[in-house]
Amino acid sequence: MSAWPDKFVIGLTGNIASGKSVVRRMLEHAGALGIDADALGHRAIQRGAPGHQAVLDAFGSYVLREDGEIDRKKLGSLVFADPQALKLLESIVHPLVREAVSHLIRKSSQPVIVLEAIKLLESPLAQACDSIWVVTAGEAVQLERLRSQRGMDEAEARRRMAAQSPEWQKAAKADVVIDNGGLLLDTWEQVKAAWKKLFPQFTGETVPSRLSNLVQTTHGLQVMRARPRQIREITEFIARSNGHGESEANRLLSSFGEKAILLLRNEHGLQGLLGWKVENLVARVDDIHMAAGEDEAGHLTFLIQEMENASRELQCEVALIFAEPQLAAQRDQWQKLGYEERFPHELNVTAWKEAALESLPPGTVMLFKQLRADRVLRPI
C-alpha cells in the first residue's frame, strides 16, 4: 500500500529520452493525475523558492542567469560531469520534491496518481508507490531522440546516458515494463492493457471522472474525450472546418497519447474540437477547431469551460490558449471567458513563463487566464 491510503500511486521511471512523459500523459488520458517530479525539482530552485539560495551556496554565481534565475543547462553540465556534485544537488532538491509530491497527492480528488521521476528507484518515493512502471526505448532510439529533439551533440548525449543505470537494471525492478521504442499506438496499447489489468473494475478505457466518458447539457450538446478509433470522423470534421483535414488529423493522431482531445457534438454531428494537456500545473490548449454556424461562440464557450473544469480537477493554476490570429481576434468573446492576450515575458511566475515559452507555436496568439487565486505549490 502506498503512503497515501486512499490513493493508488503508479511510480513511473525510465532513462533519459525513453519517453516517460509520453506514457505519463497516456495515463492521464486514462484518468490518472500526473505528477512530474523532475518539473517540481525545477520549481524548487527557481528564484524565491526554498532551493534557490541553497544551490547558489553550493555551486556559486556561475550558474546564475542575468535575470536572477538558475541556468539549468549550466548546472546540468556541472553535475553530470561530477557524481559528487550530482549527489549534492539531489540532497538539496529531493526533500523539497518529496514535500511537493505529498502535498499534490493529498489535495487530489483523483483515485489514481502517476508519479514520474527519472531517479524514482534511487529515492524513498519508490517505497511509497503501489506499482512501479519502467519505460524502455533502447540506446539507439534514446540517442536519436536526444540529438533530434533536444539538440544535443553525440558526446553530450552519450555522457547524459552514461550517468544513468542501464535500462535492464530498472526493468528488473518493475511491475510493468512499457516498450516505447516503436510506434506511439503500440505504446498506447501496452498502457491500456496494463491499466485494465490493474483496474479491472473500471469499464472501458478510463477510470470514471468528470470527462472520462461523456458530459451532456440541457442544450443538446455532448462533450466526450476522443479515441484513436474516431480519427476518421475528426479528419472529416477538420477538413470541413478549415480545409486541412488529412495533415491536421495525422498530427492529432500522432499526439493522441500526449494530449487530451475533447469533442463537442449535437444532433447535427461534430461541432467543435479542443486539444490540450497539463504540465506542471499549467493547462495548455494548442488545438481548437470549430464548425461555422450561428452558435459558434456558444459552442466555443462550452468547450473552454469543460477544459477549465477538467484542468481545475488536476489542480491547474493557469490556462494558456495558443490561438490562431483569426480566433484570437474575437476579443469580446475571450474577455467574457476571462482571458486576455499576454506575451510570455509578461507572466510574473517563472513556471508559467517557462510553460508559455516552451509551448507557444509559431504564428499564434497566447491567451492567459488564472484558474485559481491560490498558488498550489507556494512556496515550491
Note the pLDDT tens digit of each residue in 230-275: 777 888 888 887 666 566 656 666 666 677 889 998 888 899 999 9
CATH number of 8-198: 3.40.50.300
Distance of alpha carbon 363 from alpha carbon 218, whole angstroms: 37
Note the pLDDT tens digit of each residue in 60-98: 988 999 989 999 989 988 888 888 998 999 999 999 999
**pTM score, two decimals?**
0.81
pLDDT at 247: 65
What are the residue ranges spanned by the domains of the chain? 8-198, 214-370
Note the pLDDT tens digit of each residue in 267-277: 888 999 999 98
Rg (C-alpha) for the chain, rounded Å, is: 21
Cβ atoms within 10 Å, residue 230: 16
Q: Residue 229 gets which letter from DSSP?
A: G
pLDDT at 378: 66
Q: How confident is the model at residue 342 (pLDDT cuts 50, 70, 90)?
A: very high
Cβ atoms within 10 Å, residue 20: 26
214-370 belongs to CATH 3.20.20.10: no
Distance of alpha carbon 303 from alpha carbon 296, whole angstroms: 11
Determine the average pLDDT of the residues in 296-324: 92
Greatest CA separation found in the chain? Answer: 64
pLDDT at 214: 46
pLDDT at 213: 43
pLDDT at 254: 62
Angle between helices 83-107 and 52-59 (to 10 degrees): 180
| Per-residue CA distances from 83 to 14, 45, 303, 331 (Å) | 19, 19, 49, 52
Closest CA to 229 of 196, 189, 179: 189
Residue 282 has pLDDT above 50, yes or no: yes
More confident: 312 or 255: 312
